[in-house]
Structures are given as structure tokens and as C-alpha cells.
Structure 1
Amino acid sequence: MTKKSTKAAAKTASKAAPAKTAKAAGESNKVAKTQLVDMVAEKTGLTKKQSEEAVSTMLDAIVAAVKEGKSVGLPGLGTLSVRATAARTGVRPGTSEKIQIPAGKKLAFKAATTLKGSL
């Protein structure tokens, strides 16, 4: 085969068999709350309604603690905490004008070493 014919064959082959992605296969990299509820129900033997209440209560407790400024430790997963950000000077992208960015807070997550080691 010549170089031209191998290039043409490669082009037609790539058009005929498009690459499969996770989304194309119907899978997602995100686990939704309903999926968590299903997992809890399956592992604990609770009903889906009881599992949904348990998951919702846990998430509400975590959110409430973080809003109060507390750190939330989840063994085997990591720690959620609130960190203060300092006031700083930034640059507006369109005009290159210098602007003052006020101090604020951000949510931080530090993964547990056991989780990091198992990835």
C-alpha cells in the first residue's frame, strides 16, 4: 500500500468506529444522591425511604456543621473545613483594571491518607 492509501484507510476506519466515552456508554463519573440512597438501602437492608431519610439527615448535619465554621471528619474519606481567604487585588480580564477582591471563606476538602493510598 502507498502512503496515500493507508492514510485514506485510516480516515475511513476512524469515521466508522467512533471512540466510546463514558457518557456515550450511558455511564457517568458522578454518583447522584438517589444512587447513594440505593447503595445504602442495599447494604443496610433498610427501605429506600428510610435510606433516603438517613442520607438526607447526614447531609443536612454536614452542611449545618460547615455553615457554623466547624470541620467535619469523615473517617476513610477525608475532612471538610471552612478556610478564610485574604483580601487581595485582582485584575479584571476585559479591561486590565485593578480591582479589590474582598476577604471571604471557601470550603476545603482534604482527602484521608487511607483513601489517597487506595486510589
Structure 2
Amino acid sequence: MTDAAVSISPADIETLEQFYTYRERTKVLEFLDKHPFLVPVLLEAPKKIRHYFPNSQLFLEVFIDPESINWVQLILSILMKLDPYEAVARLNKLDWDWGLHNSYDVRSNFFTSLEYSDEF
């Protein structure tokens, strides 16, 4: 797939790449092409996430459930170095303040998770 085949604007792709590291770029862009309503959410997410996880790295990847090939989601992973209890509390607050206000379509196709580096 070339970027020309993607209906997402090149400007949006460039902006997203400033915020996120893609894990399997082609799969992420193909998923966003099928779910373009996620692009504004992804453009807004870094500012919301930085409030709770200021020094985190953000990754995007497509997750296909091995038990149900039809269940595919875009995962936004927040790589950070917080105490697990503190991290989960912050993620819950982020979900309460922002994530739960997203539409059903967004919530059913997009998931935010926490991730630790090997150095933790």
C-alpha cells in the first residue's frame, strides 16, 4: 500500500507521525483509512494523555484478536515509568475525563493501554 491509496490527508498523517510511533505503519494507516472518524480523536489524544502521563511515548498498533478474526482494534500504548498503581489510577482518570466521552464507534474500535519499558 502506498500513502496515495490512503484517504487520510497527508497533513494528518504527518501530524500523527509527530505524536506517535507506528508499529507496522501500513496496518495502522489501512485501519485508519477504514475508520477515518478515529483521526480527530488521535489528533486530540496526545494533549489529553500528556496531562496524565507527561513524559510518555505513544505507540499505535492494530490488534487482531486471535480468537475472533473479526475483532480488530487500534491500540494506543502509553509507554511510561510510573508505579503500576499510580499508572492505572491515572489511566482510569484519563478514561473518565476523556475516553468515556468518545462515541460508541470510537470506543469499540480504539483502546488505550499502558506499557512498561524493559528498563522499569
Q: Of the two, which has the highest radius of gyration?
A: 1
TM-score normalised over the length of structure 1: 0.25
Quick check: which one's helix share is greater?
2
Higher relative contact order (CA 8 A, sep 6+): 2
TM-score normalised over the length of structure 2: 0.25
